[in-house]
Chain A
């Protein structure tokens, strides 16, 4: 067993050694700027275009529809601000959901301060956006619908095809933040009707600081980063060559192993969920059981608080994350958990464990064993649990 058990793959992943090896030459030997005109620059440029080809083929796009960026947050900012700017004269209304990543939500809030109206769609108790509610929210001045492909906290996979179809039926563009989904579930942008899609490299064993925005041909969008003519004049800045090569290599590996990896992770995930639900009382699984990212688990343990849980898991050598207020640095728990209807005190007891193909059943079993002890320990010192037990015993006497 490793010295620690890493169950926070939705936060970031380990760069695979094949990915690192592919990147290395582009730091020292092949350092030329791909935009330059000499032979060694041409070789670098060819490698960049090869990565672009791999990525485009993986999602059923054309090479010229892939624009490299600095990561998922930049891609989200660009998609939303860029479309708002390019189509602002046509209309100033955007529709998104209450469970989006902050890169989408904060961008929308920024636009609200600049004359745009934004509708934040509710989700149901599993985290699904309702297509009928989307349709009802569309106005003549709506220019963009932005709904995430899969949620980063609770793993719910949204009905993207249906949502895109509705947007298109009203002549509205459809953007999706696919940061958690890319490389983990199959995505065909043409078949799904996606117009813009944000992706980040470090969620699929690629490097940090690289991502891309897929922009379907003919979609009107203004640049976010102005400057040189890189990325067909739409995204300035010297190409992050090692990052691009790394993302290309990570995509190639992800494409080759997608199905078997997802099957393995799903089995491990369901084993983890089954053991937690069977062996720990007063727990709830957040999100849907099947329309769920293969590697995501998200629980709420009643009567305890997430940060305490994380510290004790860390002491046991287990890395996880929580949507409790204490871990987010604010006073409110995760907006996603509140949006699916959880009361604050339940949301405070959340724990997200996100797996990878590198995790073993032995690690998962050790984690559940530790989790049982930790939850028991924290409940033993919880006044909420004390009150609950008292009420239980009183009602038990009365019945």
Chain B
């Protein structure tokens, strides 16, 4: 478990004390990404008000320490933001807010970004909205992409 000892204090804090764990009843948008085969599944719930501002964000995650920490941080980063602002929360932003991730865990931050997008997509569909720049969610993060990220 060498990579575990490489976790930053922030990652450990968000794993040990995850923010916003849980579900939102009648959420404005829910997105689930990842797959159990690879060992990571994130589900994000968003409560978005009539002005398009994220009032509340919650998550549930099956996965390693980094998967929990990136989910937790992603919910923190989108809270209080407009839908457009939430859409621009990248995996880089999640990683930076966590003071970095071990290389082999970068795919967790991609999954967190994808979870936000998936929840926003669900919100847009439910409300017949079009959100500029939002693509349909990829339910399964491409592992080759994650490896590509590792090499950089």
Could you list which residues of chain A lie within 8 angstroms of chain B, going by C-beta atoms?
A: 303-305, 307-308, 310-311, 314-315, 321-322, 324-327, 329, 331, 333, 343-345, 348, 380-386
Given contacts A329-B104, A383-B32, A383-B43, contact A345 B37 (CB under 8 A): yes
Q: Which residue of B lies closest to A384 (CB)?
A: B62
Could you say which residues of chain A place their CB within 8 Å of the CB of B10?
none
Could you say which residues of chain A place their CB within 8 Å of the CB of B21?
380-381
Evaluate contact between A386 and B15: CB separation under 8 angstroms.
Answer: no
Please give the distance in Å from B55's CB to the nearest CB on chain A.
Answer: 21
Please give the distance in Å from A235's CB to the nearest CB on chain B.
Answer: 30
Could you list which residues of chain B lie within 8 angstroms of chain A, going by C-beta atoms?
A: 1-4, 12, 15-16, 18, 21, 23, 32, 36-43, 59-65, 67-68, 104, 143
Q: Which residue of A lies closest to B68 (CB)?
A: A308
Could you say which residues of chain B place their CB within 8 Å of the CB of A344?
36-39
Given contacts A327-B1, A329-B2, A329-B3, contact A381 B68 (CB under 8 A): yes
Q: Which residue of B lies closest to A382 (CB)?
A: B62
Please give the distance in Å from A267's CB to the nearest CB on chain B.
Answer: 29
Please give the distance in Å from A349's CB to the nearest CB on chain B.
Answer: 9
Evaluate contact between B39 and A348: CB separation under 8 angstroms.
Answer: yes
Evaluate contact between A382 and B60: CB separation under 8 angstroms.
Answer: yes
Q: Which residue of B lies closest to A344 (CB)?
A: B37
Evaluate contact between B64 and A324: CB separation under 8 angstroms.
Answer: yes
CA distance A314 to B104 in the complex (A): 21
Q: List 23 A-B contacts (CB under 8 A).
A: A305-B67, A307-B64, A308-B64, A308-B65, A310-B1, A311-B4, A311-B15, A315-B16, A326-B39, A326-B65, A329-B104, A343-B37, A344-B37, A344-B38, A348-B36, A381-B61, A382-B60, A382-B61, A383-B32, A383-B42, A383-B61, A383-B62, A385-B62
CA distance A331 to B35 in the complex (A): 12
Q: Of A315, A324, A381, which one neighbours B39 at CB under 8 angstroms?
A: A324
Q: Which residue of A lies closest to B32 (CB)?
A: A383
Please give the distance in Å from A303's CB to the nearest CB on chain B.
Answer: 7
Please give the distance in Å from A148's CB to the nearest CB on chain B.
Answer: 23
Q: Which residue of A lies closest to B23 (CB)?
A: A386
Q: Of A310, A311, A325, A384, which one neighbours B41 at CB under 8 angstroms?
A: A384
CA distance A382 to B2 in the complex (A): 24
Q: Of A315, A327, A384, which one neighbours B36 at CB under 8 angstroms?
A: A384
Could you say which residues of chain B place their CB within 8 Å of the CB of A381?
18, 21, 59-61, 68
CA distance A331 to B2 in the complex (A): 15
CA distance A322 to B68 in the complex (A): 18
CA distance A236 to B15 in the complex (A): 49
CA distance A380 to B15 in the complex (A): 14
CA distance A315 to B17 in the complex (A): 12
CA distance A169 to B32 in the complex (A): 56
Q: Which residue of B lies closest to A327 (CB)?
A: B1
